[in-house]
Structure 1
């Protein structure tokens, strides 16, 4: 098994492709419940498995499958991040207003 340190811009999908494995195999090897990784995180890269041969034929289209997370959970996380960023913007706007008022007083 190889160890790998996550770099900026990495995703499990890109890492899996780089090491000829799957996102699902990375999730299992690292006991991860979500496909999210962070810079500096150490991952275990499992040995690549055999390349699957042709299947039995056409069937139903596969869904997103494991490794892509629950859409509702992802939306909720993004909403929380948006709200946090929005609060920070509001805080910075208030700070800017106070600074502009001070500058205006000094110019008089």
Structure 2
């Protein structure tokens, strides 16, 4: 998968509020099972599993099977393409604000 497709996959995956919530819960825990993620979520276990599959395909979580349980943990490097993309635009906006500041100083001596 090329860099653009990876950014698209991460953005598309995190655009869904349920997946974003699941990702945040996994990030805040060392590891969590599907059952733990389902508890109190108001979403079925099947739906949680599908959302976790999407998060895994986007490289945002990894899983580990232990007996009958599958444990999910966050994969921080999965956010790297998004961070890189955002840092590019951070430079863009800093330059634009610097230009605006210069222009405003010229207009109002």
**TM-score of the alignment, normalized to the shorter chain, above 0.5:** no
Q: TM-score category by the smaller chain?
A: 0.3 to 0.5
Larger radius of gyration: 1
**Structure ranking higher in helix proportion:** 2
TM (norm. structure 1) is 0.43
